[in-house]
Amino acid sequence: MKIACFSTKRYDIDSLTSGNTRFGHELAFFETRLTAETTALAAGFDGVCIFVNDDVDQAAIALLAQLGVKIIATRSAGYNQIDLAAAEAHSITVARVPAYSPNAVSEFTVGLILTLGRQIHRAYNRVRDNNFELEGLEGLELNQKTIGVFGTGRIGAKVIKNLSGFGSTLLAYDLYPNPDIAPLVEYVATPAELFTRADILTLHSPLTPKTYHLVNTETIAQMKDGVFLVNTSRGALLDTAAVIEGLKSGKIGYLAIDVYEVESDLFFRDLSNQVVQDDVFARLLTFPNVLVTGHQAFLTHRALASIAETTLQNFTDFAQSGQCRNAVTLAKISGN
Ligand code: NAD
């Protein structure tokens, strides 16, 4: 197939080019995001390949359909950036990578908890400045802490397995409890019970209308004083303004995030010579007890190779049969 790949960085080009030796698609790489304004770049291509911060809304899909694009494949598990109803209305197939390496995100999540909990990021900077003072670097141990995991699908289940060696009490909430991890975790009946009991709360559910601003003024009030919040799923699970109020009052003791609700204007690019215009994000960076990374939890060599392989296979399946095993449809989602 002739495929236009959007939002591609050096590491995407490397992994897709290397994986494509087996598939033989004709790939073109564009660094720009796919939005309604950039769809013209897809002229002459059968399919487009996108990533998490592309904006494939109704207008973009109508334009892609006019250009004859038949398939949109995202190099991610999440697909909230695509208007599925519009894609179906224009008979465009949407495909994703349902699982590449849950270990990548899970291990990164544990890394964020250990880094922020033990202040390793601050120690790194001090030592580089020949400052070996320990004042202010007191950390927390995971042993005997209660860790709450919201969402126990592929990644959340791995997080529970990875955390199970620390001697913590592990709690979980999911609409559909996962029998694989039942021996390691106590499932609670409601999100409120998870929020009330957890010392550390880590989020691993997709962004849906139900999980949008899951962490808000009301739910923060239910949490323990000094709660440690971790979000490596999607930024809009947190109401960032409410979280900032929680940090200012001390209700939230630690915040580690790899995702931010309006990250598409910031992440995946070098803005070091520019003035950041997002005051909410800028405020987040001023807290000593906040650790922010730029949506990198997925970024391992193994995950990139696996993402490339599944994405290219999605295009091959579609080219051969008009079907795709990793297709996302409204019917599939409502059946979840
Ligand atoms: P998954 O589909 O395997 O699991 C998601 C789980 O969330 C499921 O068990 C589901 O039942 C549960 N869930 C959905 N809605 C819920 C609700 N309202 N209440 C309680 N539970 C609910 O997905 P996954 O592979 O584990 O990925 C989880 C999320 O992580 C993805 O949706 C994606 O947004 C994010 N992610 C982030 C990165 C990153 O680099 N930071 C990488 C991959 C995935």
Instruction: Name residue 209's amino acid.
Output: P
239 lines ligand 1 (CB under 6 A): no
Q: What is the pLDDT of residue 336?
A: 41
Helices (H), the chain: 10-19, 58-67, 84-89, 102-117, 120-128, 154-163, 191-197, 217-222, 240-249, 279-284, 301-321, 330-334
Q: What is the pLDDT of residue 48?
A: 98
> What's residue 128's pLDDT?
98
Average pLDDT over residues 131-149: 97
List, in order, residues 6 or more apart from 90 with CB less than 8 Å away.
61, 62, 64, 65
Residue 331's pLDDT band (cuts 50, 70, 90) = confident
Nearest-CA residue for ligand 1 atom 9 is 153
Please report the sign of the dihedral spanned by the C-alpha atoms of residue 109, residue 110, residue 112, residue 117. Answer: positive
Ligand 1 close to Cβ of residue 232 (< 6 A): yes
Q: Which overall architecture, per CATH, does domain 102-292 show? A: 3-Layer(aba) Sandwich (3.40)
In this structure, of 118-127, 154-163, 262-271, the range with the lowest mean pLDDT score is 262-271
> By alpha-carbon position, which residue is closest to atom 1 of ligand 1?
153
pLDDT over threshold 50, residue 192: yes
pLDDT of residue 99: 87
How confident is the model at residue 176, as a pLDDT?
A: 97
Residues of the chain with CATH 3.40.50.720: 2-100+300-333, 102-292
Mutation choice for ligand 1 from 110, 155, 188, 306, CB with most ligand atoms inside 8 A: 155
The greatest distance separating any two alpha carbons of the chain, rounded to the nearest whole angstrom, comes to 64
pLDDT at 70 over 60: yes
- Mean pLDDT over all residues of the chain? 96
The CATH number of 2-100+300-333 is: 3.40.50.720
Ligand 1 atom, smallest distance to 76 CA = 43
- Is the CB of residue 75 less than 8 Å from the CB of residue 48? no
Across the range 71-89, mean pLDDT stands at 95
The Å distance, Cα 205 to ligand 1 centre, comes to 3
At 292-321, the pLDDT tens digits run 999 999 999 999 999 999 999 999 999 999
**Model pLDDT for residues 105-117, shown as the tens digit of each residue:** 999 999 999 999 9
The model's pLDDT over 142-161, given as tens digits with 9 standing for 90+, comes to: 999 999 999 999 999 999 99
Asked if 73 and 99 touch (Cβ cutoff 8 Å), the reply is no
- What pLDDT, on the 0 to 100 scale, is given for residue 93? 97
What pLDDT score was predicted for residue 101? 86
Return the residue matching tokens 């990374």.
Answer: 293
Query: Has residue 335 got a pLDDT over 50?
Result: no
Query: Strand 93-95's sheet: what is its strand order?
Result: 26-29, 2-5, 47-50, 71-74, 93-95
Average pLDDT over residues 208-213: 96
pLDDT, one tens digit per residue, over 9-53 is 999 999 999 999 999 999 999 999 999 999 999 999 999 999 999
**Stated pTM of the model:** 0.92
DSSP assigned state of 216: S
Residue 333 pLDDT greater than 90, yes or no: no
